[in-house]
Amino acid sequence: MSWKRGAYPEFTLEDAVAVLFMLRNPTGRKAISEVLELGEGSVRTLLKKLGNLEVIESTQRGHSLNGRGMGLLEGISRHFSEVRRIGEIDGHPAFALTVREPGEFKSIELRDEAIRFFAKGAMILVVRNGEPVFPEDGRPLSETMPELAERIKEVFRLEDGELVVVTWAEKEADAMKSAYHAALSLKGDVIPEEIKSLVR
C-alpha cells in the first residue's frame, strides 16, 4: 500500500526572524514567499502562528507587526540588525548585518556556520575606530575591498566592538538567511521563547 505525505510547511528560525523584520511595514504573503523563497503554504502557516501569538495584524495592505510585535522585534534588534543588501561579491548577491556585544567567538566557526547554511562564502569582521577590520590581524577591509567597506559604513551606523557578518550566495534568500544564521548562532539564547516556539 502506498501513501503520499502531503506538503507540509517548512520554515526555520531564520525565516521567522526575517519575517519579523519584514513585517515592520505591511507586507503581502506573496512578497514574503518571493523574498525568502518559501512556499506559500509555509508562509501562510508562519503568519497564522504569528497571528496566534497576537503579534501581527492583517489588513488589505498586507500583514504587519502590531505594538506587541514591535516590542518583540525591538528586543531582537538590540542584539543584531536587520540583514541589508550590500552589493555583490564574486558575482553573487551579498548581504550583511551587525551583531552587538558578540561576546567570545571564533570567526572561522561563524564563517563555517554561514556556509553550512547555504552561503557560498562569508566574512566576519569587527568594528574598530569605526572601521570594519578582520579580527585575526586587525587588517581593515578597506585595504582589500574599499567599495565594500564604504558600503557597509553607509548602510550601518557602526559602533566599535560590533561584529559585521557578510555573506554571499547564488540566491539572495540563502545569503540573507545564512547571515541571520550566523547571528543566531551567537545570540540564539536572547531570542524570545515565543519566537522559538514557531519552529517547533
Instruction: Enumerate domains of the chain plus CATH numbers.
Output: 13-77 (1.10.10.10), 84-188 (3.30.1360.30)
pLDDT at position 167 is 98
pLDDT at position 200 is 81
DSSP per residue over the chain, as a string? Answer: ----PPP-----HHHHHHHHHHTTS-B-HHHHHHHHT--HHHHHHHHHHHHHTT-EEEETTEEEE-HHHHHHHHHHHTTBPPPEEEEEETTEEEEEEEESS--S--HHHHHHHHHHTT-SEEEEEEEETTEEE-TTT--BHHHH-HHHHHHHHHHS---TT-EEEEEE-SSHHHHHHHHHHHHHHHHGGGS-HHHHHTT-
Report if pTM > 0.85.
yes
For 17-67, the pLDDT digits (tens) are 999 999 999 999 999 999 999 999 999 999 999 999 999 999 999 999 999
